Amino acid sequence: MARKVIDTPSEDVVAAAKSARAEKRGPFAGIVLFLKQVIAELKKVVTPTRRELWSYTAVVLVFVVFMMAIVYGLDQLFSWLVIFVFGTPAT
């Protein structure tokens, strides 16, 4: 099972952001700081195990099939209602 990590920024990232905000820098320094923070956040990402990945995939597929069934049922109901109210088109 994936680790449960509380999403709090590390102290060094917060300190770097505060010091960078306090200093007047050019626009490229802001972009570099942003990219450093993005990389720091990406290092926190936990990759699911193979078993978790199969489980997540199965849940998504079951949900999609369920939603397709609901949409198909509503489509059939509304088409029947339209034919009932307006009749079949004249040929």
Q: How many domains does the chain have?
A: 2
- Same domain, yes or no, for 1 and 42? yes
- Same domain, yes or no, for 36 and 64? no
Global model pTM greater than 0.75: no
Taking only the tens place, the pLDDT of each residue in 33-72 is 889 989 989 999 999 999 999 999 999 999 999 999 999 9
- Same domain, yes or no, for 56 and 88? yes
Are 52 and 1 in contact, with CB atoms under 8 Å apart? yes
- Same domain, yes or no, for 24 and 61? no
d(CA 6, CA 23): 30
- Same domain, yes or no, for 41 and 53? no
d(CA 87, CA 54): 48
- Same domain, yes or no, for 80 and 90? yes
- Same domain, yes or no, for 2 and 43? yes
- Same domain, yes or no, for 56 and 22? no
Give the residue numbers spanning the domain of 18. Answer: 1-47
% of the chain beyond a pLDDT of 70 = 79
**Average predicted confidence (pLDDT) for the chain:** 85
